A and B are shown apart, each in its own frame.
Chain A
Amino acid sequence: MNWGDYRKAMDALPFSPDFQERTEKLLRLSAQNEAEKEPFAMKKKLFHKIAAAAAVLALLTASAYAAVKLLSPSQVAEFAQQPLLAEAFRSEDALVLNETVESGGYRMTLAGLVSGAVLDSWDQDVDRSRTYAVAALERLDGQPLDQQSVSLSDFILTPLVAGYTPWSVNNWTLDAAVCGIAQDGVFYFLLDVQTLEMFADHTVYLAFYEGGVPSREIFVMNGDGSIQFAGDFAGPHALFTLPLDAGKADPAAVEAFIADSGFDLDWFTGSTSQSEEPSFTGQGDGELAEAPSVELEEIPSGET
């Protein structure tokens, strides 16, 4: 037996000869129905937005606002077709944060976080730990955000670690992937990154901002290792501190991470002139000069 037999068996499967024709008809009919429903759906949505906006702005705290108005992290994971991750976000191990910052005309919310073994249903046998985070982006003027209005290349959600330069420990060096989901005018970011718990004996941040790769123009690392946005950084931005359990820190893993990077320790700690950030040419696959690229993926929304 060989794979040629497998291909022959596949080729012999009795699919309907008119499958494509039937399917095209079905899809056209469905598209027509969707188009006819749209005006009513738009009106209904607008009504809800006005009512909801008035209620939440008047009555709710930021945390309660996020809980009421936004999708939960587990719902975002479900939209991203990651049922195991959705379950993890519902577990006791997940951190529900719902911290909100308003900046540059946007409301930026860090909704939740979970760390642990790989939770992507396709990745169960991969021997590595990951951290997953969900953040939400909304416009303060109420204009809805959709897949066209937000680019994953322009809005960055990246971890940073106190004591390590922002250009050395971030999405690009931590094997991160980010997907975006637009739902009801809110744009959600689902970050999947190498575990952040190994850094838990340091202050670990999630920076959310409109800009490019972390650089000296965007961030400042203070003498005590703490990180903040540069004073003249004008774009929408928020810096969240993650409440990680310091007991889960793994200095040996951090050491291995630095050793595997191929860069000098000075580049990570910023202790000498060698700590200059590498020259990046942009963001996305193959666009970084010296560091691994981050994977960006846009996930469709509206699935149930």
Chain B
Amino acid sequence: MSINKQQDFGTPVSAAQQTVTLEIDGFTVTAPMGTSIMRAAASIGIDIPKLCATDSIEPFGSCRLCVVQIEGGRGMPASCTTPVAEGQKISTQSPKLADVRRGVMELYISEHPLDCLTCSANGDCELQDMAGAVGLREVRYNPAGENHLSAVKDESNPYFSFDPSKCIVCSRCVRACEETQGTFALTIDGRGFDSKVSPSQNQAFMDSECVSCGACVQACPTATLMEKSVIDHGQPEHAIVTTCAYCGVGCSFRAEMKGEQVIRMIPNKDGQANHGHSCVKGRFAFGYATHKDRVTKPMIRANINDPWKEVSWEEAIGHAASELKRLQQKYGKDSIGSITSSRCTNEEVYLMQKLTRAGFGNNNVDTCARVCHSPTGYGLKQTFGESSGTQDFDSVMEADVIMVIGANPTDGHPVFASLMKKRLREGANLIVIDPRQIDLVKTPHVQADYHLKLRPSTNVALMNALAYVIVTENLVDEAFVNERCDIESFNKWRTFIGQDMHSPEAAEAITGVPAADVRAAARLYATGKNSAIYYGLGVTEHSQGSTTVISIANLAMATGNLGRKGVGVNPLRGQNNVQGSCDMGSFPHEYPGYRHVSDDITRGLFEMTWQADLSPEPGLRIPNMFEAAIDKTFMGLYVQGEDIAQSDPDIQHVHAALRAMECVIVQDLFLNETAKFAHVFFPGSSFLEKNGTFTNAERRISPVRKVMTPLAKYQDWEVTQMLSNAMGYPMSYSHPSEIMAELASLTPTFAGVSYEKIDQLGSIQWPCNDESPTGTPIMHKDEFMRDDGKGLFMLTGYVPTAEKVTPKFPLILTTGRILSQYNVGAQTRRTQNNVWHAEDILEIHPHDAEDRGVNNQDWVGIKSRAGETVLRALISDRVQPGIVYTTFHFPESGANVITTDNSDWATNCPEYKVTAVQVTKVSQQSEWQKNYQAFSEDQLDLLAQGMAND
């Protein structure tokens, strides 16, 4: 193993098809038109000295180190900004070029600290490398002259240091912030000798608009911007490519290591989802993996009021298996089940559902996607025939109109948001449908053409109004519909949607969105050359979540925006493996590949391979498990990597259900909120400690690779296997690749997937089989995946939510997430990301705040029909009057104390986005918070007692 640095070609690749042939230093090279001479040279192993160029950003031509000579040409042009041309003859080395380069380097070094031996970039410094490359031997300028050597360091960012004394003002950081990230937080302030890199208005990084994505650190050629982990521990010595464990973008990273210690996570330039970009979570927030809160010993206890007892793995597994068997004997085969997690690998999820179906003998397996994107699975399966998004991320670069519905990409999917912003800066139009002013509505060089600020819970009414305009203004793509869609269903839908009750004017009373804006947005979407829809949990987490997904599919089919680049229906998945956990068969009614358990042929296939009798009946969904637990018919649960006691709605009901069960087994990195109700704790392994795969929002299966020994000895899939064996259902996998091979043998859409192929291609987008041996970036190109190959239109009547505002509960609470924290916060709360967001707060409109006498930072009580909690207030006009907003990253916030048990009609995905509440100024925590804090402290004491007794 070695660090094996990725080659920097100096300038970005050219997408041109046409090539030119030229000669560089006597070697012939052929390159696409538009390629820089620098890149063409690098492609044949000729490294032209450079400082201001790097291949993630456009060339700048400022350092003058990369000058070359072109036969017959004048002067010495910069090779980074000069494109190749047919027949050119180029020299990259000559005495004259050497003189110029040495002169340039001499100037740079004349005011650069000469502390190379003790510098954090020692061994990874381009300035040092270039000094060597140009043969710099002396600096003739007086070191006592004016310089920047005493410039003060900015240590404000928790993850990287900014040392302006080492800055060569190459602008790579500034350009990375603009081009790669799209935040424009950095600039060069001043002129000439006074020029310096400035975060915002000469502010500290932490006080600036910087979002800590790390692009500037990555681009910096010196130690000016440097990871503090490298400053502390020195340069890494080997690197392993793996996949991020945060959001559904699924960024590829190089885990740069020193032995078994992660020194830094560097976004992989070859990563097909992220192309070398990252966000603050994936890039920097990996410290949770070795946090002191990790529980690394198995534990058991008879009662949740007992201290935990640390035991051997054998004892823990044996105890868990015997308890589950006891429960099945006492309460019946169907009295136990499992919950899988989108934070776990495909292989782990596959084993969990296999254990449940074949080992437990029932289909009581569900996944956390139940509470996020289950409506996507349902809606897209019904209409398109497959439970997945249609495009790859890169498709957005060919979109002309981008419609973002109920998603907040800059916070939830930041790396994809950067790509989207790049396309928007190139001129694509933007329609945002969201009750709240998300950052994308107005961000540097991006402004939404239309922000349809609808009332929460009225998505379907708005989507129907958009469709009404398309149908009644003859904007339907008749050719596409006739060729690709089920005509009977289309005709029925056209009649239905063309009724005046769906007109924008009628809908305005429901949605609050001006009819003229709806009409204009519909025309823009329908007439844009390529129109693409991106949506998130603001679509799915409603009582009509599935209906909205269906209406999105209807809209895309009606306008022919499917089956090619630049268009499509793109669900932005919340967690890293939402798509994968669903693909792996963790819904109670579906085997891997979304095949119903009642399908005799499929079931027979699994029965034969698994050597077990399988139930043809759907099992319990998560909320049904809770109901059954309270009903005393569901008494045992195995939860892997999911924290239902924090993340699920109407949390007091969830806690009551957990208390009612006789055996709750939790497998996790930490004693999470669910574990506080558990009887068995299996210590989990982080993504750094195991092998497997994650599947991101674009169906991309990417490798997860073990970079360190599991702290608790076993990878999670091994623990599930041990439990299965102890339950009497044998499993004998020796590596996750064998699990993937089994899945591939049983699942047509994965038939061509193997670890060997993933290693060879880097990643694979399913379907991958004989028809698409290297995967499928764009789905439904020629036909839809329904049995008849036709897209199905479905009727989408608007049904108002049962959650109504009343004088007692006059405001609507809606929820979301923030860039620096992730989901329930179990990972990010245990990192320095807390400096950005240390608690959940309630955003409230100035008018509503004034009515209630609420000021910024005041404690406010938020009361719903389900419960009450207390948060600090932030007065903000990002929310509309009548709407309040919070995140749910901290358990003590109790955001889910107030959410109700309303759920999507088709999938029971909770209606997190709509809760009627009242907000009042208060002076202390809610009763629930006080009680929960006491319970939580007791549980931590019981954990400490268990550890002390060991």
- Please indicate whether A and B come from the same complex rather than being unrelated chains: no
Contacts from B to A (Cβ < 8 Å): none
